[in-house]
Amino acid sequence: MGMSEFYGIGDEGESIATIHRALDLGINFLDTADMYGPHTNEELVGRAIASRRDDVVLATKFGVVRTADPANRAIRGDATYVRQACEDSLRRLGVEHIDLYYQHRSDPTVPIEETVGAMAELVAEGKVRHLGLSEAAPDTLRRAVATHPIAALQTEWSLWSRDLEVDVVPTARALGVGIVAYSPLGRGFLTGGLTSPDDFGAGDFRKFLPRFSGDNLEHNLALMEQVRTMADGRGCTPAQLALAWVLSRGDDVVPIPGTKRVTRLEENASASDVVLTEGDLDVLDAAFPPGAAAGDRYPDMAAIEAATPQA
């Protein structure tokens, strides 16, 4: 996502080099969406993997509809739209099939059975291999699974976003649905490199997010110091510690940290070498219980919401 929008100015050459380096390191799961750009991120990913398609488990999403007006955004899950969105994504990505196809957000006006039923037709036709949902409520997930197997649920999960552990994670596990954790670095906050709204350049949506402003930011910076202290003691970076914590949640959890640069990619990849003890996990659980972070994940104001992504 960040390679094309929301996190400041992108660099296509560096982005493609980052994707290639990921594949070289054995990181083969790439996640995009038709609304990133909008549309241009799928094209970028398509160019990056054109000669390496067999090396990639490719995921994309549909359902968030954007127009030239950034304040005009809608959710669609009707069968007609599902099919058209898939055809458009296949064309932009330059591939014959999508490995994991997500509904980006649930459409409150369309029964989930209709949406997943249309997605299942794409599986039967060989255009899609597996189905997923993003940010779906437990009941929605149950109804979806009753319509067609759901391979993965994508949802935000990190040290400062743990509310899903109450009911979403148990439901997914009871249904045999894997969990793809987006924003496992708290949109960059858990790297320790963001300390002020002045750190955000032009085009960076994080300046609008409640957790990055005012008293919320001061509260969250105090939490961040505990991550920094533990990371220093373990000989790793805060980002690697935060990712190691997500990896410790279970073998059914796949974090997808976003990055635009090779150096950050390599740092993130090394998180798999960080071993957290039970004592470490107890300390982190005490420091970051559900609800510990101050501020909502997304802003409430419609005008600001138009500037935020649906990761």
Return the CATH number at 76: 3.20.20.100
Residue 60 domain-assigned (yes or no)? yes
Higher-confidence residue of 156 and 206: namely 156
Residue 115 domain-assigned (yes or no)? yes
Residue 237 domain-assigned (yes or no)? no
Of the candidates 101, 104, 254, the one whose C-alpha atom is nearest the C-alpha of residue 180 is 254
| Annotated active-site residue in 36, 81, 101, 102 | 36
Higher-confidence residue of 205 and 217: namely 217
Higher-confidence residue of 201 and 290: namely 290
| Confidence at residue 309, expressed as pLDDT on a 0 to 100 scale | 54
Average pLDDT over residues 127-137: 97
Average pLDDT over residues 195-212: 71
Check pLDDT > 50 for residue 201. yes
Check pLDDT > 60 for residue 303. no
Distance between CA atoms of residues 115 and 118, nearest Å: 5
Residue 226 domain-assigned (yes or no)? no
Check pLDDT > 80 for residue 148. yes
Average pLDDT of the chain, as a whole number: 90
Residue at token pair 């398609």: 53
Question: Cα Rg for the chain, rounded, in angstroms?
Answer: 19
Which tens digits make up the pLDDT trace of 23-42? 999 999 999 999 998 999 99
**Starting at the edge strand that comes first in sequence, how are the strands of the sheet with 98-103 ordered?**
29-31, 57-62, 98-103, 128-134, 152-156, 178-182, 253-256
| Confidence at residue 302, expressed as pLDDT on a 0 to 100 scale | 43
Check pLDDT > 60 for residue 186. yes
Check pLDDT > 90 for residue 246. yes
Distance between CA atoms of residues 289 and 281, nearest Å: 11
Q: Which of 46-55, 88-97, 193-202, 290-299 has the lowest mean pLDDT?
A: 193-202
**How many domains are contained in the chain?**
1
Under a CB-based contact definition with an 8 Å cutoff, are residues 21 and 278 in contact? no
Q: Is 102 a catalytic site residue?
A: no
Task: Using the Cα atoms of residue 22, residue 5, residue 96 and residue 111 in order, give the sign of their dihedral.
Answer: positive
Residue 210 domain-assigned (yes or no)? no
Range 47-78 burial, b when 16+ CB lie within 10 A, else e: ebbeeeeeebebbbbbbbbbeeeeeebebbbe
Residue 206 domain-assigned (yes or no)? no
| Confidence at residue 219, expressed as pLDDT on a 0 to 100 scale | 85
Average pLDDT over residues 136-148: 98
Residue 126 domain-assigned (yes or no)? yes
Range of 9's domain? 1-150
Under a CB-based contact definition with an 8 Å cutoff, are residues 159 and 190 in contact? yes
Residue 91 domain-assigned (yes or no)? yes
The residue type of 285 is D
